[in-house]
Amino acid sequence: MNDDGLTIWLTGLSGAGKSTIATLLASRLIERGAAVEILDGDEVRTNLSAGLGFSKEDRDTNIRRIGYVANLLTRNGVHVIVAAISPYRAVREEVREKIGRFLEVYVECPIDVLADRDVKGLYRKALAGQLDHFTGVSDPYEAPQRPDVRVNSSAETVEESVAKVLIAIDDLGQPDLATGTDG
């Protein structure tokens, strides 16, 4: 593994598996000798973004803050794994352009599966009309159109999803292979 940092940005609905994938991916990268940090939406919102809500403006602010920290770490050789819904395409593109070494991973899961799992009980409330601005039910989610990696937690295991991300990371680090040259 080379010494360049990288931001691996997991976007997807609440409960889709972003944090679970982030945790296993972090272990795999640490095993390979990388310096790794996870920036998880739920945790960021209890400190760096404490006080922010779920309006478009507050979510965009949250994503810009996460992007700012991810950029600082990435340029110092850290592999940063972001796990945040990040529902708006424009601000995702903005942070991608700032950071440069960036992989966008779309963590997909059908909404009916999420509503069945409903670990936090939020889907039930949102579907009953008791929770405004809940992503995917009463608030928008702009899915990536060309993510670098697409994983699906209703169709594959966490191990399989993480393996896909690791392949994409390896492809980034091997430009000769990616361009098909053999020099």
Q: Which stretch binds ligand ADX (CB under 6 A): 25-33, 54-62, 89-97, 171-179?
A: 54-62
CA distance 172 to 158: 21
Under 8 Å between Cβ of 70 and 99? yes
Is 86 among the catalytic positions? yes
The residues near 60 (Cβ < 8 Å, ≥ 6 apart) are 88, 91
User: Positive or negative CA dihedral for 118, 163, 181, 96?
Assistant: positive
Of 22, 29, 80, 85, the one binding ligand ADX (CB under 6 A) is: 85
Q: Report if residue 84 touches ligand ADX, rule: CB under 6 A.
A: yes
Pick 42 or 159: Cβ nearer ligand ADX: 42
> How many of the other CB atoms lie within 10 Å of CB of 4?
13
CA distance 116 to 79: 33
Encoded tokens for 27: 């272990």
Pick 64 or 163: Cβ nearer ligand ADX: 64
Which of 14, 19, 86, 161 is catalytic? The answer is 86
Pick 86 or 153: Cβ nearer ligand ADX: 86
Encoded tokens for 125: 């409330």
Of 32, 56, 120, 124, the one binding ligand ADX (CB under 6 A) is: 120
Q: Please identify which residue in the block is written with the tokens 């070494």.
A: 101
Q: Report if residue 134 touches ligand ADX, rule: CB under 6 A.
A: yes
Residues that bind ligand ADX (CB under 6 A): 14, 41-42, 45, 54, 59, 62-63, 84-87, 120, 122, 133-135, 139
Catalytic positions, please?
86
